[in-house]
């Protein structure tokens, strides 16, 4: 028993030396159980978010106002599906199967980003999602490019290249609406009113209320804390809103002398209600995912059968 403890301590010291030397941890490397568990949770939830996030936008493909906007939205949604696949593949390197991730999602044991549990009421919402939700996601994902786990870091590098297009196409929708009729301007302002706070909640609870942040920072899974990333997003986005004439719905927003901002209180009761499954669309999102996953079983089985047949014939 004593030998095992000494050996584990040696392995942990070597692991932490690699982390501190900015050497990526790879799937076959020794890692503490807590490191593996944190990544399995975070990476699978990240993947679920990418896939579930396709639903609110998918509702507007057939109602896009022009062929150009329909093509852009289709490209974006297709990207999100691909991001989910990269992330499931990266998460599987930790020793958990994709089927197991999907099962945990359907059983309510795994989460996805709370922001996707709000309804998309009109086309301005599609602009707000691209600009604010993907803008928040980019802020987090650019930081995660430097995460200590190799497969996650490499997936982030690939995903971030596509996310910047997502944010810009959303901002363009909002910009065009603010150059449009008074009714279109009102729609755009109503959309930021409804999506601003759920976008801030994407970064998670305050650092003081985030049970995982300290270990995640120590082992460089996270390179910046929830609050640091939230502030980075706010400071970048408010000037973008002001340029096109939109007002951020925060009556208690403070503009600091250095040009940064201090946001008003976030409604954490709402956050935990939505995270806990009681948001406006939680049930609809999960039911849709469950039904489509069941209906798509034949596609997965056919692909597996095809691969087995062609692998055996080689
Ligand atoms: N939605 C749902 N659950 C959330 C949440 C949110 N916005 N923020 C926090 N939580 C959950 C956490 O999962 C954790 O619950 P758990 O222990 O049951 O998993 C609990 O609240 C406490 O939060 P912590 O801050 O302690 O948890 P984390 O350290 O995991 O930090 C996080 C939360 C910042 C979201 C982190 O998990 C993270 O960086 N994840 C990767 C990025 C990600 O998932 N982004 C989601 C959006 S992806 C996207 O938007 C796609 C884009 O293309 C549109």
**Closest atom of ligand 1 relative to the 204 alpha carbon:** 8
**Domain boundaries defined on the chain:** 31-282
Q: Whose C-alpha lies nearest to ligand 1, atom 25?
A: 210
Closest protein CA for atom 30 of ligand 1: 42
Residues 6+ apart with CB under 8 A from 11: 30
Residue 232, ligand 1, Cβ within 6 A: no
111, 201, 204: which to mutate for ligand 1, most atoms within 8 A of CB?
Answer: 204
Cα 49 to ligand 1 centroid, rounded to whole Å:
9
C-alpha to C-alpha distance for 161 and 177, rounded to whole angstroms: 26
Give the model's pLDDT for residue 269. 98
How far, in Å, is the centroid of ligand 1 from the Cα of 204?
A: 6
Q: Is 79 in the pocket of ligand 1 (CB under 6 A)?
A: no
Q: What confidence score (pLDDT) does residue 314 get?
A: 75
Pocket probe mutation, ligand 1, options 113, 117, 118, 225, max atoms within 8 Å of Cβ: 113
31-282 in CATH: which number? 1.20.1260.10
- Check residue 3 and give its pLDDT: 67
**d(C-alpha 47, C-alpha 112), whole Å:** 8
Question: For ligand 1, what atom is nearest to the CA of residue 212?
Answer: 26
Establish whether residue 210 lines the binding site of ligand 1, counting it when its CB lies within 6 angstroms of any ligand atom: yes
Joined tokens for residue 288: 């849709």
Task: Report yes or no: 230 and 238 within 8 Å, Cβ to Cβ.
Answer: no
Q: How far is the CA of 202 from the centre of ligand 1 (A)?
A: 7
> Where would I find the H helices in 244-296?
268-273, 282-295
Cβ of 198 closer than 6 Å to ligand 1, yes or no, is no
Atom of ligand 1 nearest to the CA of 222: 39
Please state the atom number of ligand 1 nearest to the C-alpha of residue 43: 41
Distance 175 CA to ligand 1 centre (A): 29
Strand, helix or coil at 52? helix
Centre of ligand 1 to C-alpha 205, Å, is 9
Question: Per-residue confidence of the chain (314 residues) as pLDDT tens digits?
Answer: 666 777 999 999 999 999 999 999 999 999 999 999 999 999 999 999 999 999 999 999 999 999 999 999 999 999 999 999 999 999 999 999 999 999 999 999 999 999 999 999 999 999 999 999 999 999 999 999 999 999 999 999 999 999 989 999 999 999 999 999 999 999 999 999 999 999 999 999 999 999 899 999 999 999 999 999 999 999 999 999 999 999 999 999 999 999 999 999 999 999 999 999 999 999 999 999 999 999 999 999 999 999 999 988 77
How confident is the model at residue 1, as a pLDDT? 63
Count CB-CB contacts under 10 A for residue 146.
15
Residue 145 near ligand 1, beta carbon < 6 Å: no
Q: Which tokens hold the place of 63?
A: 């109602």
C-alpha 149: how far from chain center: 17
What is the whole-number distance in angstroms between the Cα of residue 52 and the centre of ligand 1?
A: 14
pLDDT at 159: 96
Token code pair at residue 103: 């099962």
For residue 312, the model assigns a pLDDT of: 80
First to last CA, the chain: 49
Residue 208 beta carbon below 6 angstroms from any ligand 1 atom = no
């Amino acid at each position: 028993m004593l030998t095992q403890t000494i050996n584990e301590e040696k392995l942990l010291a070597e692991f932490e030396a690699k982390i501190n030397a900015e050497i990526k941890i790879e799937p076959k490397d020794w890692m503490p159980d807590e490191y593996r568990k944190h990544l399995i949770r975070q990476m699978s939830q990240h993947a679920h978010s990418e896939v579930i996030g396709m639903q609110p936008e998918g509702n507007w493909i057939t109602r896009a106002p022009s062929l150009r906007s329909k093509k852009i939205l289709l490209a974006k949604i297709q990207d999100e599906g691909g991001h989910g696949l990269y992330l499931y593949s990266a998460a599987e390197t930790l020793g958990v199967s994709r089927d197991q991730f999907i099962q945990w999602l359907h059983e309510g044991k795994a989460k996805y980003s709370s922001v996707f549990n709000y309804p998309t009421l009109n086309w301005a919402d599609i602009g707000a999602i691209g600009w604010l939700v993907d803008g928040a996601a980019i802020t987090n994902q650019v930081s995660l490019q430097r995460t200590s786990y190799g497969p996650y870091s490499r997936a982030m590098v690939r995903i971030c290249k596509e996310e910047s297009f997502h944010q810009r196409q959303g901002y363009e929708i909002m910009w065009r609406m603010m150059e449009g009729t008074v009714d279109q301007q009102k729609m755009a302002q109503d959309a930021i009113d409804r999506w601003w706070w759920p976008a801030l909640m994407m970064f998670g609870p305050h650092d003081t209320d985030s049970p995982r942040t300290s270990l995640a920072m120590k082992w460089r899974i996270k390179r910046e804390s929830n609050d640091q990333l939230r502030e980075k997003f706010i400071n970048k986005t408010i000037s973008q809103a002001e340029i096109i004439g939109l007002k951020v719905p925060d009556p208690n927003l403070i503009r600091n002398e250095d040009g940064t901002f201090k946001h008003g209180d976030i409604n954490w009761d709402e956050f935990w209600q939505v995270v806990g499954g009681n948001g406006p669309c939680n049930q609809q999102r999960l039911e849709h995912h469950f039904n489509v996953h069941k209906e798509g079983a034949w596609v997965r089985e056919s692909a597996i059968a095809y691969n087995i047949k062609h692998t055996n014939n080689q």
